[in-house]
Structure 1
């Protein structure tokens, strides 16, 4: 990275690879694991208490508990609105996770391209001349080219 006072930022292929493999991986892990994420998923699904197969990370409370729906009708509306909110949030977290995974793959691809291009960048001028002459554009680059002829 650049010095703190210069205002410059240097991004190397090593930095990109580390960012993709470690920093983004930790971010993706935080978006996909843990009790808070599990609770959000459960609230987003809005299943009744005890309806979650294979265990319930929210302790059996997968809906907002708003009181007795017979005595407090607005509680049902609040419960439905909370389910809508958590569903929308869950969907956005899934989109963020998908995009972070794509970003990680793209950064690793950039790292690969940078590494390969550095390895393949050792082209001499003679190699370049030979490559250009092999294209047969009818232009001689100082050597003989059988495709150019003059007619009188």
Structure 2
């Protein structure tokens, strides 16, 4: 298992769930304080190896509990049917390929969402290399994510 400082440095001191900065100087009992989440171990049913732990705020980690985490899309984006990001990351990490992740009424909205998504996934799943594509379909624009 890694130390809090090791996990924090790897994560750039950002919470993997809410993507907000984590203040290492706060008490571990403070809701905005740092904690280690061993999501990979919980999913795989074994003890976490070094590098599998994620940095999270104490409150984010507690709120998640033992259920599958939800990483939200920004509420400022105009999207229809955005896919749950943790599930998308798990599927693409396991089998690669491509997946439709959202629909949008305009190409610009879809491209903006794609830019945000690649940036967010660079922190959520640093080992997963992805790119986005926007394609017209059915009077809307489809945002796809594919592994590279």
TM-score (norm 1): 0.23
User: More helix by proportion, 1 or 2?
Assistant: 1
Q: Which has the higher relative contact order, 1 or 2, with Cα contacts under 8 A spaced 6 or more apart?
A: 1
TM-score between the two structures when normalised by the length of structure 2: 0.23
Q: Which has the higher strand share?
A: 2
Q: Whose radius of gyration is greater, 1 or 2?
A: 1
